[in-house]
Protein backbone atom coordinates (compact mmCIF):
# COMPACT_ATOMS: atom_id res chain seq x y z
CA UNK A 1 0.00 0.00 0.00
CA UNK A 2 2.79 2.46 0.92
CA UNK A 3 4.75 1.54 -2.22
CA UNK A 4 1.71 2.15 -4.41
CA UNK A 5 0.99 5.51 -2.76
CA UNK A 6 4.64 6.50 -3.21
CA UNK A 7 4.46 5.59 -6.88
CA UNK A 8 1.24 7.59 -7.34
CA UNK A 9 2.72 10.66 -5.64
CA UNK A 10 5.87 10.38 -7.72
CA UNK A 11 3.89 10.35 -10.94
CA UNK A 12 1.34 12.98 -9.95
CA UNK A 13 3.95 15.46 -8.79
CA UNK A 14 6.63 14.77 -11.35
CA UNK A 15 8.81 17.81 -12.04
CA UNK A 16 8.93 16.95 -15.72
CA UNK A 17 5.20 17.44 -16.13
CA UNK A 18 4.98 20.65 -14.17
CA UNK A 19 7.95 22.48 -15.68
CA UNK A 20 7.66 25.25 -18.22
CA UNK A 21 6.56 24.58 -21.78
CA UNK A 22 10.00 25.33 -23.14
CA UNK A 23 11.51 22.63 -20.93
CA UNK A 24 8.85 19.96 -21.36
CA UNK A 25 8.17 20.11 -25.13
CA UNK A 26 10.66 18.72 -27.67
CA UNK A 27 10.46 18.93 -31.44
CA UNK A 28 10.91 15.44 -32.90
CA UNK A 29 10.46 14.16 -36.46
CA UNK A 30 7.37 12.05 -35.75
CA UNK A 31 5.21 11.17 -38.72
CA UNK A 32 1.87 12.96 -38.70
CA UNK A 33 2.87 15.31 -35.87
CA UNK A 34 5.20 18.26 -35.75
CA UNK A 35 5.55 18.32 -31.94
CA UNK A 36 5.56 15.57 -29.36
CA UNK A 37 5.13 16.12 -25.63
CA UNK A 38 6.47 13.32 -23.43
CA UNK A 39 4.23 14.67 -20.66
CA UNK A 40 1.15 13.39 -22.53
CA UNK A 41 2.30 9.79 -22.20
CA UNK A 42 3.30 10.45 -18.63
CA UNK A 43 -0.13 11.91 -17.88
CA UNK A 44 -1.78 8.81 -19.29
CA UNK A 45 0.34 6.56 -17.09
CA UNK A 46 -0.35 8.89 -14.19
CA UNK A 47 -4.12 8.54 -14.67
CA UNK A 48 -3.85 4.75 -14.81
CA UNK A 49 -1.81 4.59 -11.62
CA UNK A 50 -4.19 7.01 -9.92
CA UNK A 51 -7.26 4.91 -10.78
CA UNK A 52 -5.50 1.74 -9.69
CA UNK A 53 -4.59 3.39 -6.42
CA UNK A 54 -8.17 4.49 -5.75
CA UNK A 55 -9.48 0.99 -6.48
CA UNK A 56 -6.86 -0.56 -4.22
CA UNK A 57 -7.66 1.82 -1.37
CA UNK A 58 -11.39 1.15 -1.66
CA UNK A 59 -10.85 -2.62 -1.76
CA UNK A 60 -8.52 -2.45 1.22
CA UNK A 61 -11.03 -0.38 3.21
CA UNK A 62 -13.88 -2.77 2.39
CA UNK A 63 -11.76 -5.74 3.36
CA UNK A 64 -10.80 -4.03 6.61
CA UNK A 65 -14.46 -3.38 7.46
CA UNK A 66 -15.34 -6.97 6.69
CA UNK A 67 -12.41 -8.21 8.77
CA UNK A 68 -13.51 -6.11 11.75
CA UNK A 69 -17.07 -7.39 11.31
CA UNK A 70 -15.89 -10.98 11.17
CA UNK A 71 -13.57 -10.79 14.15
CA UNK A 72 -16.52 -9.89 16.37
CA UNK A 73 -17.49 -13.57 16.31
CA UNK A 74 -14.91 -16.23 17.03
CA UNK A 75 -15.07 -19.84 15.87
CA UNK A 76 -17.37 -20.66 18.80
CA UNK A 77 -20.22 -18.33 19.77
CA UNK A 78 -21.93 -18.51 23.15
CA UNK A 79 -25.24 -16.89 24.02
CA UNK A 80 -23.51 -14.38 26.29
CA UNK A 81 -21.17 -13.34 23.46
CA UNK A 82 -24.12 -12.96 21.09
CA UNK A 83 -25.88 -10.67 23.57
CA UNK A 84 -22.79 -8.50 24.03
CA UNK A 85 -22.39 -8.14 20.27
CA UNK A 86 -26.05 -7.13 19.89
CA UNK A 87 -25.75 -4.50 22.62
CA UNK A 88 -22.83 -2.95 20.74
CA UNK A 89 -24.16 -3.14 17.18
CA UNK A 90 -27.97 -3.36 17.16
CA UNK A 91 -29.36 -0.26 15.36
CA UNK A 92 -32.51 -0.28 17.49
CA UNK A 93 -30.44 0.67 20.52
CA UNK A 94 -28.87 3.60 18.70
CA UNK A 95 -32.34 4.79 17.71
CA UNK A 96 -33.58 4.55 21.29
CA UNK A 97 -30.50 6.40 22.54
CA UNK A 98 -31.09 9.19 20.01
CA UNK A 99 -34.71 9.50 21.16
CA UNK A 100 -33.51 9.80 24.76
CA UNK A 101 -31.06 12.55 23.78
CA UNK A 102 -33.87 14.39 21.98
CA UNK A 103 -36.08 14.43 25.09
CA UNK A 104 -33.09 15.57 27.14
CA UNK A 105 -32.89 18.62 24.86
CA UNK A 106 -36.59 19.23 25.47
CA UNK A 107 -35.87 19.48 29.19
CA UNK A 108 -33.24 22.14 28.53
CA UNK A 109 -35.68 24.05 26.32
CA UNK A 110 -38.31 24.07 29.06
CA UNK A 111 -35.79 25.19 31.70
CA UNK A 112 -34.68 28.09 29.51
CA UNK A 113 -37.73 30.09 30.66
CA UNK A 114 -36.13 30.34 34.11
CA UNK A 115 -33.31 32.45 32.64
CA UNK A 116 -33.34 36.02 31.33
CA UNK A 117 -33.37 36.84 27.63
CA UNK A 118 -30.66 39.30 26.59
CA UNK A 119 -30.51 40.81 23.10
CA UNK A 120 -27.92 43.17 21.61
CA UNK A 121 -28.92 45.45 18.75
CA UNK A 122 -27.05 47.85 16.46
CA UNK A 123 -28.20 49.83 13.42
CA UNK A 124 -26.98 52.55 11.09
CA UNK A 125 -29.11 54.44 8.57
CA UNK A 126 -28.55 57.25 6.10
CA UNK A 127 -31.45 59.50 5.12
CA UNK A 128 -31.57 61.99 2.29
CA UNK A 129 -34.15 64.09 0.46
CA UNK A 130 -36.20 67.26 0.61
CA UNK A 131 -37.19 68.45 4.06
CA UNK A 132 -39.64 71.23 5.01
CA UNK A 133 -38.71 72.78 8.34
CA UNK A 134 -41.02 75.83 8.00
CA UNK A 135 -43.92 76.24 5.61
CA UNK A 136 -42.83 79.81 5.01
CA UNK A 137 -39.54 78.69 3.51
CA UNK A 138 -38.89 76.41 0.55
CA UNK A 139 -37.87 72.77 1.08
CA UNK A 140 -34.21 72.05 1.54
CA UNK A 141 -32.29 68.99 0.37
CA UNK A 142 -30.38 67.46 3.24
CA UNK A 143 -28.55 64.25 4.13
CA UNK A 144 -27.82 62.88 7.57
CA UNK A 145 -26.83 59.64 9.38
CA UNK A 146 -28.44 58.00 12.38
CA UNK A 147 -26.70 55.42 14.60
CA UNK A 148 -28.22 53.31 17.34
CA UNK A 149 -26.99 50.49 19.53
CA UNK A 150 -28.15 48.94 22.78
CA UNK A 151 -29.19 45.94 24.85
CA UNK A 152 -32.60 44.69 25.99
CA UNK A 153 -33.29 42.36 28.90
CA UNK A 154 -36.43 40.35 29.68
CA UNK A 155 -36.98 38.16 32.71
CA UNK A 156 -40.08 36.28 33.79
CA UNK A 157 -40.58 36.94 37.49
CA UNK A 158 -43.61 34.73 38.13
CA UNK A 159 -46.05 32.97 35.82
CA UNK A 160 -48.08 30.96 38.37
CA UNK A 161 -46.53 27.56 37.62
CA UNK A 162 -46.60 27.54 33.82
CA UNK A 163 -42.83 27.23 33.46
CA UNK A 164 -42.57 24.78 36.34
CA UNK A 165 -45.29 22.61 34.83
CA UNK A 166 -43.58 22.47 31.45
CA UNK A 167 -40.26 21.58 33.08
CA UNK A 168 -41.85 18.82 35.17
CA UNK A 169 -43.63 17.40 32.11
CA UNK A 170 -40.45 17.38 30.03
CA UNK A 171 -38.54 15.71 32.86
CA UNK A 172 -41.18 13.00 33.11
CA UNK A 173 -40.99 12.47 29.35
CA UNK A 174 -37.21 12.22 29.61
CA UNK A 175 -37.57 9.57 32.32
CA UNK A 176 -40.01 7.73 30.06
CA UNK A 177 -37.56 7.79 27.14
CA UNK A 178 -34.77 6.51 29.39
CA UNK A 179 -37.03 3.66 30.47
CA UNK A 180 -37.92 3.07 26.81
CA UNK A 181 -34.22 2.64 26.12
CA UNK A 182 -34.10 -0.02 28.84
CA UNK A 183 -37.11 -1.74 27.29
CA UNK A 184 -35.48 -1.63 23.85
CA UNK A 185 -32.34 -3.11 25.34
CA UNK A 186 -34.38 -5.89 26.94
CA UNK A 187 -36.09 -6.56 23.60
CA UNK A 188 -32.72 -6.79 21.87
CA UNK A 189 -31.48 -9.28 24.46
CA UNK A 190 -34.68 -11.33 24.18
CA UNK A 191 -34.50 -11.42 20.38
CA UNK A 192 -30.88 -12.57 20.43
CA UNK A 193 -31.49 -15.25 23.03
CA UNK A 194 -34.59 -16.55 21.21
CA UNK A 195 -32.70 -16.58 17.90
CA UNK A 196 -29.83 -18.40 19.56
CA UNK A 197 -32.19 -21.04 20.97
CA UNK A 198 -33.77 -21.46 17.53
CA UNK A 199 -30.30 -21.88 15.99
CA UNK A 200 -29.35 -24.54 18.52
CA UNK A 201 -32.67 -26.30 17.99
CA UNK A 202 -32.16 -26.31 14.21
CA UNK A 203 -28.68 -27.80 14.56
CA UNK A 204 -29.98 -30.47 16.92
CA UNK A 205 -32.71 -31.35 14.43
CA UNK A 206 -30.07 -31.69 11.70
CA UNK A 207 -28.30 -34.27 13.85
CA UNK A 208 -31.57 -36.16 14.33
CA UNK A 209 -32.34 -36.20 10.62
CA UNK A 210 -28.77 -37.14 9.76
CA UNK A 211 -29.04 -40.10 12.13
CA UNK A 212 -32.35 -41.03 10.50
CA UNK A 213 -30.69 -41.05 7.07
CA UNK A 214 -27.91 -43.30 8.41
CA UNK A 215 -30.43 -45.72 9.93
CA UNK A 216 -32.42 -45.83 6.69
CA UNK A 217 -29.27 -46.47 4.65
CA UNK A 218 -28.16 -49.24 7.00
CA UNK A 219 -31.57 -50.87 6.71
CA UNK A 220 -31.38 -50.58 2.91
CA UNK A 221 -28.06 -52.43 2.94
CA UNK A 222 -29.56 -55.18 5.08
CA UNK A 223 -32.60 -55.48 2.80
CA UNK A 224 -30.38 -55.68 -0.28
CA UNK A 225 -28.24 -58.36 1.34
CA UNK A 226 -31.29 -60.44 2.32
CA UNK A 227 -32.74 -60.01 -1.18
CA UNK A 228 -29.55 -61.24 -2.82
CA UNK A 229 -29.60 -64.47 -0.84
CA UNK A 230 -33.32 -64.86 -1.51
CA UNK A 231 -34.51 -64.62 2.07
CA UNK A 232 -36.45 -61.37 1.50
CA UNK A 233 -38.65 -60.15 -1.38
CA UNK A 234 -37.83 -57.20 -3.61
CA UNK A 235 -40.54 -55.20 -1.84
CA UNK A 236 -38.27 -54.88 1.17
CA UNK A 237 -35.59 -53.26 -0.97
CA UNK A 238 -37.92 -50.78 -2.63
CA UNK A 239 -39.53 -49.97 0.73
CA UNK A 240 -36.07 -49.30 2.20
CA UNK A 241 -35.19 -47.07 -0.78
CA UNK A 242 -38.36 -45.04 -0.23
CA UNK A 243 -37.43 -44.65 3.43
CA UNK A 244 -33.96 -43.40 2.48
CA UNK A 245 -35.46 -40.86 0.07
CA UNK A 246 -37.88 -39.57 2.72
CA UNK A 247 -35.09 -39.31 5.26
CA UNK A 248 -32.95 -37.31 2.79
CA UNK A 249 -35.84 -34.92 2.10
CA UNK A 250 -36.24 -34.27 5.82
CA UNK A 251 -32.48 -33.87 6.16
CA UNK A 252 -32.36 -31.26 3.37
CA UNK A 253 -35.20 -29.31 5.01
CA UNK A 254 -33.45 -29.43 8.38
CA UNK A 255 -30.21 -28.07 6.92
CA UNK A 256 -32.09 -25.21 5.29
CA UNK A 257 -33.68 -24.38 8.65
CA UNK A 258 -30.17 -24.06 10.09
CA UNK A 259 -29.28 -21.49 7.43
CA UNK A 260 -32.46 -19.54 8.15
CA UNK A 261 -31.83 -19.65 11.91
CA UNK A 262 -28.26 -18.42 11.36
CA UNK A 263 -29.49 -15.44 9.34
CA UNK A 264 -32.07 -14.61 12.02
CA UNK A 265 -29.42 -14.74 14.76
CA UNK A 266 -27.07 -12.45 12.84
CA UNK A 267 -29.93 -10.05 12.16
CA UNK A 268 -30.73 -9.96 15.87
CA UNK A 269 -27.06 -9.28 16.69
CA UNK A 270 -26.72 -6.60 14.02
CA UNK A 271 -23.58 -8.15 12.44
CA UNK A 272 -23.14 -10.42 9.43
CA UNK A 273 -19.83 -12.32 9.50
CA UNK A 274 -18.75 -14.33 6.48
CA UNK A 275 -16.81 -17.09 8.23
CA UNK A 276 -18.27 -20.26 9.71
CA UNK A 277 -18.77 -20.42 13.47
CA UNK A 278 -20.28 -22.92 15.87
CA UNK A 279 -22.82 -22.52 18.67
CA UNK A 280 -23.50 -24.59 21.75
CA UNK A 281 -25.16 -27.85 20.83
CA UNK A 282 -27.00 -28.37 24.08
CA UNK A 283 -29.76 -26.72 26.08
CA UNK A 284 -29.53 -25.58 29.68
CA UNK A 285 -32.76 -26.04 31.62
CA UNK A 286 -32.43 -23.43 34.35
CA UNK A 287 -35.10 -23.99 37.02
CA UNK A 288 -37.56 -21.20 37.84
CA UNK A 289 -38.95 -21.53 41.36
CA UNK A 290 -40.63 -18.14 41.83
CA UNK A 291 -44.41 -18.18 42.52
CA UNK A 292 -46.68 -16.72 39.86
CA UNK A 293 -47.97 -13.88 42.08
CA UNK A 294 -44.42 -12.73 42.84
CA UNK A 295 -43.55 -12.81 39.15
CA UNK A 296 -46.54 -10.59 38.33
CA UNK A 297 -45.64 -8.10 41.06
CA UNK A 298 -42.12 -7.77 39.67
CA UNK A 299 -43.47 -7.41 36.12
CA UNK A 300 -45.68 -4.48 37.17
CA UNK A 301 -42.48 -2.64 38.16
CA UNK A 302 -40.73 -3.28 34.86
CA UNK A 303 -39.31 -0.48 32.72
CA UNK A 304 -42.19 -0.74 30.24
CA UNK A 305 -44.80 -0.10 32.94
CA UNK A 306 -42.74 2.62 34.63
CA UNK A 307 -42.36 4.44 31.30
CA UNK A 308 -46.14 4.42 30.79
CA UNK A 309 -46.65 5.75 34.31
CA UNK A 310 -44.17 8.57 33.62
CA UNK A 311 -46.14 9.54 30.51
CA UNK A 312 -49.35 9.71 32.54
CA UNK A 313 -47.69 12.08 34.99
CA UNK A 314 -46.28 14.17 32.12
CA UNK A 315 -49.74 14.58 30.59
CA UNK A 316 -51.16 15.53 33.98
CA UNK A 317 -48.53 18.27 34.30
CA UNK A 318 -49.31 19.51 30.78
CA UNK A 319 -53.03 19.64 31.58
CA UNK A 320 -52.33 21.68 34.71
CA UNK A 321 -49.99 23.96 32.76
CA UNK A 322 -52.63 24.52 30.09
CA UNK A 323 -55.15 25.67 32.71
CA UNK A 324 -52.56 27.97 34.34
CA UNK A 325 -52.64 30.09 31.19
CA UNK A 326 -55.76 31.66 32.68
CA UNK A 327 -53.59 33.16 35.44
CA UNK A 328 -51.59 36.41 35.20
CA UNK A 329 -47.85 36.66 34.63
CA UNK A 330 -45.28 39.14 35.94
CA UNK A 331 -42.28 40.13 33.79
CA UNK A 332 -39.36 42.57 34.03
CA UNK A 333 -38.28 44.53 30.93
CA UNK A 334 -35.25 46.78 30.64
CA UNK A 335 -33.10 48.36 27.93
CA UNK A 336 -30.03 50.56 27.58
CA UNK A 337 -29.40 52.31 24.26
CA UNK A 338 -27.04 54.80 22.58
CA UNK A 339 -28.31 57.04 19.73
CA UNK A 340 -26.89 59.90 17.69
CA UNK A 341 -26.11 61.38 14.29
CA UNK A 342 -22.39 60.83 14.78
CA UNK A 343 -21.12 57.47 15.96
CA UNK A 344 -18.38 59.25 17.88
CA UNK A 345 -20.96 61.28 19.85
CA UNK A 346 -23.73 58.86 20.82
CA UNK A 347 -26.14 59.78 23.62
CA UNK A 348 -27.22 57.13 26.11
CA UNK A 349 -30.60 56.43 27.67
CA UNK A 350 -32.15 53.56 29.61
CA UNK A 351 -35.50 52.32 30.82
CA UNK A 352 -36.77 49.53 33.04
CA UNK A 353 -40.10 48.36 34.33
CA UNK A 354 -42.33 45.52 35.43
CA UNK A 355 -45.26 44.31 33.35
CA UNK A 356 -48.27 42.54 34.78
CA UNK A 357 -50.25 40.67 32.13
CA UNK A 358 -53.76 39.44 33.01
CA UNK A 359 -55.49 37.29 30.35
CA UNK A 360 -59.15 38.22 30.00
CA UNK A 361 -60.36 36.56 26.82
CA UNK A 362 -58.33 34.59 24.27
CA UNK A 363 -61.03 33.28 21.97
CA UNK A 364 -61.58 30.00 23.91
CA UNK A 365 -58.06 28.94 22.94
CA UNK A 366 -57.04 28.13 26.51
CA UNK A 367 -60.22 26.16 27.18
CA UNK A 368 -59.58 24.06 24.06
CA UNK A 369 -55.97 23.42 25.10
CA UNK A 370 -57.13 22.31 28.55
CA UNK A 371 -59.66 19.90 27.05
CA UNK A 372 -57.05 18.49 24.70
CA UNK A 373 -54.53 18.02 27.51
CA UNK A 374 -57.11 16.29 29.71
CA UNK A 375 -58.06 13.98 26.84
CA UNK A 376 -54.39 13.11 26.34
CA UNK A 377 -54.12 12.35 30.05
CA UNK A 378 -57.13 10.03 29.90
CA UNK A 379 -55.68 8.28 26.86
CA UNK A 380 -52.33 7.83 28.60
CA UNK A 381 -54.05 6.40 31.67
CA UNK A 382 -56.05 3.98 29.51
CA UNK A 383 -52.85 2.89 27.74
CA UNK A 384 -51.24 2.28 31.13
CA UNK A 385 -54.16 0.13 32.31
CA UNK A 386 -54.12 -1.82 29.05
CA UNK A 387 -50.38 -2.33 29.33
CA UNK A 388 -50.70 -3.71 32.85
CA UNK A 389 -53.30 -6.21 31.66
CA UNK A 390 -51.02 -7.22 28.80
CA UNK A 391 -48.06 -7.64 31.18
CA UNK A 392 -50.11 -9.84 33.51
CA UNK A 393 -51.24 -11.93 30.55
CA UNK A 394 -47.68 -12.34 29.24
CA UNK A 395 -46.40 -13.39 32.64
CA UNK A 396 -49.18 -15.92 33.20
CA UNK A 397 -48.97 -17.41 29.71
CA UNK A 398 -45.21 -17.81 29.76
CA UNK A 399 -45.29 -19.10 33.34
CA UNK A 400 -47.78 -21.80 32.37
CA UNK A 401 -45.89 -22.59 29.16
CA UNK A 402 -42.67 -22.91 31.16
CA UNK A 403 -44.19 -25.44 33.54
CA UNK A 404 -45.80 -27.38 30.69
CA UNK A 405 -42.51 -27.54 28.77
CA UNK A 406 -40.71 -28.72 31.89
CA UNK A 407 -43.16 -31.60 32.24
CA UNK A 408 -42.79 -32.45 28.55
CA UNK A 409 -39.02 -32.68 28.93
CA UNK A 410 -39.32 -35.54 31.42
CA UNK A 411 -42.02 -37.30 29.41
CA UNK A 412 -40.16 -36.97 26.10
CA UNK A 413 -36.96 -38.33 27.64
CA UNK A 414 -38.83 -41.49 28.54
CA UNK A 415 -40.38 -41.48 25.06
CA UNK A 416 -36.93 -41.43 23.42
CA UNK A 417 -35.76 -44.33 25.57
CA UNK A 418 -38.84 -46.39 24.65
CA UNK A 419 -38.50 -45.54 20.95
CA UNK A 420 -34.84 -46.64 20.94
CA UNK A 421 -35.81 -49.92 22.57
CA UNK A 422 -38.65 -50.37 20.08
CA UNK A 423 -36.25 -49.88 17.13
CA UNK A 424 -33.85 -52.47 18.52
CA UNK A 425 -36.69 -54.99 18.85
CA UNK A 426 -37.92 -54.26 15.32
CA UNK A 427 -34.44 -54.68 13.88
CA UNK A 428 -33.99 -57.93 15.76
CA UNK A 429 -37.30 -59.28 14.49
CA UNK A 430 -36.43 -58.27 10.93
CA UNK A 431 -32.95 -59.79 11.03
CA UNK A 432 -34.38 -63.04 12.38
CA UNK A 433 -36.88 -63.16 9.54
CA UNK A 434 -39.96 -62.63 11.69
CA UNK A 435 -40.59 -58.89 11.35
CA UNK A 436 -41.58 -56.84 8.32
CA UNK A 437 -39.94 -53.75 6.78
CA UNK A 438 -42.97 -51.74 7.80
CA UNK A 439 -42.11 -52.39 11.43
CA UNK A 440 -38.60 -51.03 10.82
CA UNK A 441 -39.99 -47.92 9.15
CA UNK A 442 -42.48 -47.30 11.93
CA UNK A 443 -39.81 -47.77 14.59
CA UNK A 444 -37.40 -45.40 12.84
CA UNK A 445 -40.07 -42.73 12.39
CA UNK A 446 -41.15 -43.13 16.00
CA UNK A 447 -37.57 -42.68 17.21
CA UNK A 448 -37.02 -39.58 15.05
CA UNK A 449 -40.31 -38.08 16.21
CA UNK A 450 -39.45 -38.83 19.83
CA UNK A 451 -36.08 -37.11 19.53
CA UNK A 452 -37.68 -34.13 17.77
CA UNK A 453 -40.31 -33.94 20.52
CA UNK A 454 -37.58 -33.94 23.17
CA UNK A 455 -35.63 -31.18 21.40
CA UNK A 456 -38.82 -29.18 20.93
CA UNK A 457 -39.60 -29.47 24.64
CA UNK A 458 -36.12 -28.19 25.54
CA UNK A 459 -36.42 -25.29 23.10
CA UNK A 460 -39.92 -24.41 24.36
CA UNK A 461 -38.72 -24.43 27.96
CA UNK A 462 -35.85 -22.04 27.24
CA UNK A 463 -38.00 -19.80 25.01
CA UNK A 464 -40.73 -19.56 27.64
CA UNK A 465 -38.16 -18.75 30.32
CA UNK A 466 -36.64 -16.00 28.15
CA UNK A 467 -40.07 -14.47 27.43
CA UNK A 468 -41.07 -14.72 31.09
CA UNK A 469 -37.93 -12.93 32.25
CA UNK A 470 -38.51 -10.26 29.56
CA UNK A 471 -42.11 -9.75 30.73
CA UNK A 472 -40.86 -9.39 34.29
CA UNK A 473 -38.22 -6.86 33.20
CA UNK A 474 -35.32 -8.88 34.63
CA UNK A 475 -33.78 -10.19 31.41
CA UNK A 476 -30.09 -9.40 31.11
CA UNK A 477 -29.85 -8.70 34.84
- Domain membership of residue 10 (yes or no) is yes
331 vs 355: CA distance, rounded Å = 5
Q: What total of structural domains would you count in the chain?
A: 2
CATH number at residue 464: 1.20.1600.10
End-to-end CA separation in angstroms for the chain: 47
- Domain membership of residue 145 (yes or no) is no
Q: Are residues 192 and 318 in the same domain?
A: yes
SS3 assignment, position 36: strand
> Which of 71, 100, 124 is the endpoint of a domain?
71
Q: Are residues 314 and 404 in the same domain?
A: yes
- Domain membership of residue 426 (yes or no) is yes
360 vs 226: CA distance, rounded Å = 106
Which residue range forms the structural domain that includes residue 45? 2-71
Instruction: Give the global pTM.
Output: 0.77
Give the closest residue to 71 by CA, choosing from 263, 271, 279, 259: 271
Measured CA angle at 157 (ends 153, 162), to 5 deg = 115
Show pLDDT as tens, one digit a residue, over the chain (477 residues): 444 344 434 434 443 443 333 343 333 333 333 333 444 455 545 555 555 555 455 544 444 444 445 445 667 899 999 999 999 999 999 999 999 999 999 999 999 999 999 999 999 999 888 777 777 777 778 888 999 999 999 999 999 989 999 999 999 999 999 999 999 999 999 999 999 999 999 999 999 999 999 999 999 999 999 899 888 899 999 999 999 999 999 999 999 999 999 999 999 999 998 888 888 877 888 899 999 999 999 999 999 999 999 999 999 999 999 999 899 999 999 999 999 988 888 999 999 999 999 999 888 989 999 999 999 999 999 999 999 999 999 999 999 999 999 999 999 999 999 999 999 999 898 888 888 889 999 999 999 999 999 999 999 999 999 999 999 999 987
Q: Are residues 33 and 101 in the same domain?
A: no
Burial class (CB in 10 A: 0-12, 13-18, 19+), 401: middle
Q: Are residues 67 and 216 in the same domain?
A: no
- Domain membership of residue 287 (yes or no) is yes
Amino acid sequence: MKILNSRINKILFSKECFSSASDSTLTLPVQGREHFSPCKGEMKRRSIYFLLGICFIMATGTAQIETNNSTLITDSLTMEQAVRIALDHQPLLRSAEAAMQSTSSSVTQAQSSYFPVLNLTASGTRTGGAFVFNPSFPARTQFYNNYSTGATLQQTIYDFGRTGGRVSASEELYDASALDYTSTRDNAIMNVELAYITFVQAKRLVDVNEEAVKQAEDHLKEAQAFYKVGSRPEFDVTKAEVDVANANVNFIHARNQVSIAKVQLENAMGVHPTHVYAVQNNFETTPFAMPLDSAKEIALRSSTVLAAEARVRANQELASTAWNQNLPSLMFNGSYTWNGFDYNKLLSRWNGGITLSVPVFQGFNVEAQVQQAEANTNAAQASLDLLKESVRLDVEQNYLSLNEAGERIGASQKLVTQAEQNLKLAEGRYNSGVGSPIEITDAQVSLSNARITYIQALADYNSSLIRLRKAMGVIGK
